Amino acid sequence: MTVVDPVSGEYDALAARIREAIERRSGVRIPVVRDDAPEAAVPIRGNLIALGNRSTNKTMEGLYNRYFTLLDLWYPGPGGYEVRSLHNPFGGGHNVILVGGSDRAGVDRATDEFVLIDGPEGSIDLLIARAPTDMHTLAVVNNRKLDASPRNFYGVPAGHTNVSVWGCMHRRHVFVEDLDGDGKQEVAGEIDGTWNRIGVWAQDGTPLANVHLGPGEFEPPPKPCPRRNVRDMDVADVDGDGKQEIIAGLAGGLALALNHRCEKVWSKRLPAPPTVLACVRSPKPWIAAGCEDGTLIALDGKGEVSGMGRTQGRPSGIAVLDGLAVVGTDSGQVAGWTTFARD
Ligand SMILES: [Ca+2]
Ligand SMILES: [Ca+2]
């Protein structure tokens, strides 16, 4: 397996993230080649992981011109992403994993969604979330079968209803973490759109916990689907008890903390609905949220406000850098803040 990274260098950091994710899981360090390398040529001569779209990656362009992918500057559109397997396109027994988007935000998100977990009998499963999508299930591709049709990680525990809608519910986060501290990893994430919920599943897909958060907000036509009401989420042990909390920013204006059973630990009403949220893990855990009106909030592990600031515009992205929360807004501002004194 080889990662194809364009000569532009635009996705170098993303290619490194994929290589590290595979190395962490399997112990194998796979090669990364440029898209003008012989190993990246189409028709393909080996198993590839291709980043980007037809305009940013020559390998993608070769596949696109033969109708094997539709990833371009229009599809999946601003911020959209697709992680998909392309099975044996040239009959030579070689396959491609497409990690694509129309813009950097989409390809970045596609890389985030490239999640590997332990499969049966020592094998490895790739969990694939898509937006746009058909159903809200995760696709599960096992490294020994390379069959992209199995679906999992969408069920609900007994006593809960599995609300299902065609093409109107999405997966945007897949966390693989030991939530309850028992040494085994669980899969956690939100399902959003027409109906919103957060779920936790065992590694075999058995539903362990679920909380329903209700219908999404309707947008005026031509938007076909209700927007999500889970705007952002993260997972961290924010209160230091050895078990991870699930922290969600909701369109109704709340930051919500759940335990691994999806039970509410606390919720906090913010000055305006949050658009982005992340947990900062050092030097001590805290939660950073950016709100619609540009307010930047720091919450401690109990949901109490420990700091407040302001930026211009609506926060559209958040990252954590060395104890600092950094937010970018739709008006072009970038702001970093922390609640602790820095060296
Ligand atoms: Ca566990
Ligand atoms: Ca905890």
Which ligand is in closest contact with the Cα of 182? 1
- Which parts of the chain sit beneath pLDDT 50? 343
CB 100 within 8 A of CB 108: no
The b/e string for 68-102 (b: 16+ C-beta within 10 A; e otherwise) is bbebbeebbeebbbbbbbbeebeeeebbbbbbbbb
CA of 263 to the centre of ligand 1 (A): 16
SS3 107: helix
Q: What is the largest CA-CA distance in the chain?
A: 59
Beta bridge mates, 14: none
Alpha-carbon span 199 to 161, nearest angstrom: 12
Which of these, 196, 208, 86, 187, lies nearest to 136 by C-alpha position?
196
* Owner of token pair 């209160």: 239
Q: What pLDDT sits at residue 343? A: 46
Task: Pull the structure tokens for residue 316.
Answer: 């559209």
Which ligand is in closest contact with the Cα of 242? 2
Q: How do the residues of the chain divide into helix, strand and coil, expressed in percent and rounded to 5?
A: 10, 40, 50
CA of 180 to the centre of ligand 2 (A): 9
Which ligand is in closest contact with the Cα of 235? 2
Which ligand is in closest contact with the Cα of 259? 2
Q: What pLDDT sits at residue 26? A: 75
CB 141 within 8 A of CB 125: yes
Alpha-carbon span 154 to 191, nearest angstrom: 8
Q: What pLDDT sits at residue 85? A: 85
CB 298 within 8 A of CB 305: yes
CA of 238 to the centre of ligand 2 (A): 5
Alpha-carbon span 274 to 294, nearest angstrom: 9
Which ligand is in closest contact with the Cα of 184? 1
Phi–psi pair at 174, nearest 5 degrees: -130, 110
Alpha-carbon span 116 to 114, nearest angstrom: 7
Q: What pLDDT sits at residue 224? A: 67
- How far is the CA of 30 from the CAs of 46, 56, 150, 153, 209, in angstroms? 12, 22, 25, 28, 36
Give the total residue count for the chain.
343
CA of 163 to the centre of ligand 2 (A): 29
Which ligand is in closest contact with the Cα of 243? 2
Which of these, 342, 316, 126, 274, lies nearest to 334 by C-alpha position?
316
CA of 39 to the centre of ligand 1 (A): 40
CA of 316 to the centre of ligand 2 (A): 27
Q: What is the strand order of the sheet 96-101 is part of?
A: 32-34, 2-5, 48-52, 96-101, 81-86
Q: What pLDDT sits at residue 132? A: 64
CA of 207 to the centre of ligand 1 (A): 13
CA of 55 to the centre of ligand 1 (A): 42
CA quadruple 168, 52, 174, 308: dihedral sign: negative
CA of 89 to the centre of ligand 1 (A): 38
CA of 260 to the centre of ligand 1 (A): 9
CA of 140 to the centre of ligand 1 (A): 20
CA of 179 to the centre of ligand 2 (A): 9
What is the CB-side half-sphere exposure of residue 213 using CA atoms within 13 A?
Answer: 32
> What pTM was estimated for this model as a whole?
0.74
